[in-house]
Amino acid sequence: METVHQVVVVTGASGGIGRATAIAFGRRGAWVALLARGRAGLDGAAAEVEAAGGTALTVPVDTSSHAALRRMRSRTRGTMVKVGSPLAYRGIPLQSACGGAKHAIQGFNESLRCELLHEHSGAHNTMVQMPAVNTPQFSRVLSRLPKKAQPVPPIHQPEVAARTGFAAQQTSERRPADQPANVWEPADSDKDFGTHGAFDHRSKARSTQPWASQHHGPVAVGAAAGAPGLAAVTGSPLGRWVRR
């Protein structure tokens, strides 16, 4: 019997969540197409996918088309997963460009989902909103902050993939004057930055958010049962509201 391999296309595959996702699919023996701009980053990701047990194809490209969607529509199957963050719903200081982009992706995702439902298509479309993640982007992002940029804590490792404030988005270190920026050109053309960023010592390897988002009922019941008891001990404003 011929073995059927899972085929996965990952954009932004040279680092961060994209690279961690590609490696995870590699462990499942999938055929993984890695799309990104930086050659060295892609080569590093491909080596890790192959080492994990998958088959990698690198495609140096600046993605801007919907070729994958056209392919899925014609075959009426497949799933497209877009990666966003809470900024898709709430803009925060210092990240106006990122917030605007996330809002745009969320709007596009909702419109496309309605179109596919209207067509009764077998192709699926969804979006996941990620927490702060320890990716290499904070070492190469175009920044005008006086200090080094960082994710808003708590920070999670890319493998988890599952607040706002000016101080929370900067470390205490000065930003290097020669720090690379990946806006107009890829920063990993000649240097592979890997999957993780510079915050391994502060990043969580697990998150309860995916489980909680899929079990709203138990979470709500637990919160309702626990709030009065907690309020009785702390005398918090929440407790006074619950007792009413």
Domains of the chain, by residue range, sit at 7-142+150-172
For the residues 78-82, what does the mean pLDDT come to? 86
Summarize the confidence of residues 122-136 as an average pLDDT.
86
pLDDT at position 58 is 96
Q: Which spans in 53-190 are helix H?
A: 67-75, 96-118
At which residue do the structure tokens 């719903």 appear?
Answer: 89
SS3 at position 169: helix
Phi-psi region of 228 (alpha: psi -120 to 50; beta: other; left: phi over 0): alpha
pLDDT tens across 23-65, in order?
A: 999 998 999 999 999 999 999 999 999 999 999 999 998 876 5
**CATH architecture designation of domain 7-142+150-172:** 3-Layer(aba) Sandwich (3.40)
Residue 180's closest CA among 9, 71, 37?
A: 37
Q: With 60 as the cut, is the pLDDT of residue 105 above it?
A: yes
Top pLDDT among 65 and 202 is at: 202
Using 50, 70 and 90 to split pLDDT, how confident is the model at 167? very low
Distance from CA of residue 149 to its chain's centroid? 17
Q: Which of residues 49 and 164 earns the better pLDDT score? A: 49
